[in-house]
Amino acid sequence: MLNIAFYGKSGVGKSTITRLATEFFEKKGLSVKNVKLAYPLYQLQNQFYEIAGVHCNFFDQNQSLLEDIARHLRMINPEVLINDFNKRYNNTIADIVINDDIRDTTVDYPHFCMMNFHFIKIVCEENKRLARLSNRKDLNTIFNSKTTDCIDDIKADFIIDTSYESEEVLKSKLESFLEDLWSKYDSDR
């Protein structure tokens, strides 16, 4: 499998870039699976909302609650999220695995490096990022999360700036990089 991690702060455009990458690979006839580190956090968040008698969709984001759950789980077992990720990753049958929620540089990042992930950093100007976050329909928003304080410690193989360019221009730049990445991976197999 070709492993790709899109990373960056909330609001920079990771979901958009993930969608564009998925569309690119699927047009080539390849299968793609997005395996999230935070999947168990969403499971627990949904249990909180269910117990509270409030509806939320599975991947709705109460960022404050998700971060609290992650912090407490990691206090109990620092490898809890990567262990759960590995179980789902190992059961994945896909040509391409994408992750779009890596933040931890202590446990998760070194593990992703050992799994030969390619790291694509998504950035944008801070005022645009904050505006995007304000316009999202998150259940709760953290504009400056401590969970991304060390995100610059992740070494990028490629950087995409989503500040000003249209989706078509971003798509073109991303596809050029992904085409090269896939060609190299495919020739090395």
Strand order across the beta sheet in which 158-161 lies: 32-34, 96-99, 2-7, 118-123, 158-161
Q: Which residues does residue 99 pair with via DSSP β-bridges, in sequence order? A: 5
The pLDDT value recorded for residue 121 is 96
Determine the 3-state secondary structure of 120 from DSSP: strand
Instruction: Give the list of residues 6+ apart from residue 112 with CB closer than 8 angstroms, or none.
Output: 3, 5, 99, 102, 119
pTM passes above 0.75 = yes
Q: Which two tokens stand for residue 103?
A: 């933040």
pLDDT for the residue numbered 141:
67
What's the pLDDT at 186?
85
Q: CA-to-CA distance for 86 and 3, rounded, in angstroms?
A: 13
Nearest to 38 by CA among 12, 21, 60: 60
Looking at residue 142, its pLDDT comes to: 63
Average pLDDT estimate for 118-128: 94
Answer yes or no: is pLDDT of 5 > 70: yes
Give residue 135's pLDDT: 84
Q: Which of 24, 6, 13 is nearest to 135 (CA)?
A: 13
Q: Give the tens place of pLDDT for each residue, 124-183.
A: 998 998 888 888 787 766 677 776 778 899 999 999 999 987 889 899 999 999 999 999
Q: 184, 128, 117, 189: which is closest to 157 by C-alpha?
A: 117
CA angle 128, 177, 149 (to 5 degrees): 40
pLDDT band of residue 10 (cuts 50, 70, 90) is confident
SS3 7: strand
Percent helix / strand / coil, the chain, rounded to 5: 50, 15, 35
For 17-31, the pLDDT digits (tens) are 999 999 999 999 999
Record the tokens describing residue 119, joined without a space.
């790291």
Q: What is the pLDDT of residue 166?
A: 86
pLDDT, tens digit, for every residue of 35-78? 999 999 999 999 999 999 999 999 888 989 999 999 999 999 99
